[in-house]
Amino acid sequence: MDTQNTHRVALVTGASGGIGRAVAERLARDGMSVVVHYAGNAGRAEETVASITGRGGRALAARADVADADQVEALFDTAERAFGGVDVVAHTAGVLRLARVAEQDLDDLDDLLRTNVRGTFAVAREAARRVRRGGAVITFSSSVVKLAFPGYAGYAASKAAVDALTPVLAGELRGRDVTVNAVAPGPTATPLFLEGKDRETVDRLAAQPPLERLGLPEDIAESVAFLAGPGRWINGQTVYANGGIA
């Protein structure tokens, strides 16, 4: 395997902003060509592409509904046509819907599960078929699976499914020299996380880790870069990137 990531190709879902954009930019700095996936905001995706190409990297934007099998297949086709193959899949795309169990709207829950569970499975399935030897698949879980924050039941359940899928896929890819791991961020300062939270809530969450701050998208991107590159002996694991929240 080329440990310097030269001529490697990464497909990053949800790369139009937040953690996904930081992941795309970080993998590009490691020398990878990057397919910047987005679901709806083409302008923000093109901003990510411009950020990468402006530093001399290679990137293109591609739209897909990650829960639609045909669109996911076409997304991988785009990567292969443009860059010759896929070596790293970082599946950051997901949605967040908050509600206490007693007030949970089941249509909202269906939407959440469609994107976070079916979408993860659709991307993982195509990755299992196409990622080249020496590659890596990085799914996205969440630290709320174990932190049990009120209001996060549906979201945590969707991410627990990712925790279950990840080691199974790692085992199924035996002999392929492809690692499969999940990254489970803790509270991270993204617009999605900060939306609807007052200053007191944000400060309380920031004080929880021993490092006494919220995570940054770049912190999570570093974990992904390690799993996508030198972290070859980590496989089938959920890596908690949360600053030490117990």
CATH number at residue 45: 3.40.50.720
Q: Is residue 37 part of a domain?
A: yes
- In this prediction, residue 4 carries a pLDDT of 43
C-alpha to C-alpha distance for 23 and 225, rounded to whole angstroms: 8
- In this prediction, residue 5 carries a pLDDT of 46
The model scores a pTM over 0.85:
yes
Q: Is residue 197 part of a domain?
A: no
In which domain, by residue range, is 180 found?
9-186+218-237
Amino acid at 20: G
Q: Is 155 helix (H, G, I), strand (E, B) or coil?
A: helix
C-alpha to C-alpha distance for 47 and 26, rounded to whole angstroms: 15
> pLDDT tens digit string along 10-32?
999 999 989 999 999 999 999 99
- In this prediction, residue 176 carries a pLDDT of 97
Number of domains in the chain: 1
Residue 233, Cβ density class (10 Å: 0-12 exposed, 13-18 middle, ≥19 buried): exposed
Q: Is 36 helix (H, G, I), strand (E, B) or coil?
A: strand
Contacts of 52 (CB under 8 A, 6+ apart): 24, 25, 28, 34, 36, 58, 59
Q: Is residue 244 part of a domain?
A: no
> pLDDT tens digit string along 215-245?
999 999 999 999 999 999 999 999 999 999 9
Q: Is residue 202 part of a domain?
A: no
Q: Is residue 99 part of a domain?
A: yes
Q: Is residue 243 part of a domain?
A: no
The single residue listed with the structure tokens 């799914």 is 139
Low-confidence ranges of the chain (pLDDT < 70): 1-6
Q: Which are the catalytic amino acids?
A: 155
- In this prediction, residue 6 carries a pLDDT of 52
- In this prediction, residue 196 carries a pLDDT of 74
Q: Is residue 196 part of a domain?
A: no
- In this prediction, residue 2 carries a pLDDT of 40
Q: Is residue 213 part of a domain?
A: no
Nearest to 94 by CA among 75, 72, 118, 73: 118
C-alpha to C-alpha distance for 177 and 147, rounded to whole angstroms: 33
Nearest to 142 by CA among 109, 117, 105: 117
